[in-house]
Amino acid sequence: MKTKSFIRENNLAGGQIASIASIFACTVLLLSESRGAAPPCLIGSGCEALSQTAIAHPGGVPLALIGLFYHTLVLWGFGTSRPSGRMLLGGLLPVGVLVSAGLTFYALFVVRAFCPWCSLSAAATLVQAWAFTGEAPSRAIGGRSVAGLAALAAGAGFGVSRLGPAPLDLRALRAMPSEVLSPNESRVRGSAKAKRTVVVFADVTCPGCRAAYPGWKRMAEGGRTRIVYRHFPNRAHRGALEACQRLASVAPADFWRVADAAYAAPDPVAYLRKRIAAQDASAVSRDLGAARELRIAQTPLMIEVAPEKRYLPDPPHN
């Protein structure tokens, strides 16, 4: 006896393909976040801006993880002929469409940012809802093929996430005056007579920044390079904004002593919270403004200001 499906053949295939595409997108977003970097996006896209909003981590859980779980359940629903599959899709898809519409509105009209990965997931949700109709025999993608394609999508998402985003907008870098890129208010390490000036955008809670920090220190101690430190907290890291604001409030005479200790501490958030009561939101906001103008998409990031203005792709490591 031929197995019956509650979804038309073409619609079933469309729902499965849409689910697999969204699993791919969610995997890119989730694995990029786990590395502390914005996902690979075109220059001018709003991936980094959206990743820094509170809605990207509802209840402290990455939205991409919720999306991955949701679309995996929907894929299972499209891949089974059991009545429970119909009940699952009937409950999930209306909620998914409403949430997707709300998130898209928030991104475009509140944050005023466009993320191609989020848009792919939103479009996939609409296709899934469209596919949830009719009755016909199912000769679409088989169960084993669905599982294989889902695994392939997740693997491809992992591969794309490793490519890394465009680190910054080089045209914006060329247009930004050196005094805006390296303001007098920023903390500086190294000789005032040094011929080379390097600006670093860093987050004291960022693993990559913590690995690069001893190298920045050595560069400044050599006498040939001045390091200009700018704060760029990444909300993907727990307590990043608070830690950067506390570090920014430290007086110039004590800044590097405190920074050295905070970067060496196992838990920089706890270290700074215990020792620094004040928080300088204005200084961090100023640095974030420059980072957003440059469309910086990752930490750590180094820019040489003098003798020439250029992006330095490889931060120093131990």
Phi first, then psi: give them for residue 230, nearest 5 degrees: -130, 140
User: Residue 107 is encoded by which pair of tokens?
Assistant: 């991104």
Residue-wise over 30-45: b if at least 16 C-beta within 10 A, else e? bbbbeebbbbbbeeeb
| The residue to which tokens 């909620």 are assigned | 95
Q: At a CB cut-off of 8 Å and minimum separation 6, what does 219 contact?
A: 190, 198, 225, 227, 316
Q: From the centroid of its chain, how far is CA 295?
A: 13
Q: For residue 34, what are the CA distances in angstroms to 146, 185, 186, 236, 308?
A: 26, 32, 29, 8, 34
How far is Cα 148 from Cα 162, in angstroms, rounded to an integer? 21
The answer on pLDDT for 165 being more than 70 is no
pLDDT of residue 310: 84
Mean pLDDT for the stretch of residues 194-214: 93
Question: Would you list the DSSP string of 217-279?
Answer: HHHHHTSSEEEEEEE---TTSTTHHHHHHHHHTS-HHHHHHHHHHHHHSS-HHHHHHHH----
Confidence of residue 317 (pLDDT cuts 50, 70, 90): low
Domains of the chain: 4-163 (1.20.1440.130), 170-312 (3.40.30.10)
Mean pLDDT for the stretch of residues 262-277: 96
Burial (CB count within 10 angstroms: exposed 0-12, middle 13-18, buried 19+), residue 84 = exposed
User: Residue 72 is encoded by which pair of tokens?
Assistant: 């995996």
Is the pTM higher than 0.85? The answer reads no
pLDDT of residue 48: 61
Lowest mean pLDDT among 58-72, 105-119, 167-181, 211-225: 105-119
pLDDT of residue 60: 77
pLDDT of residue 202: 96
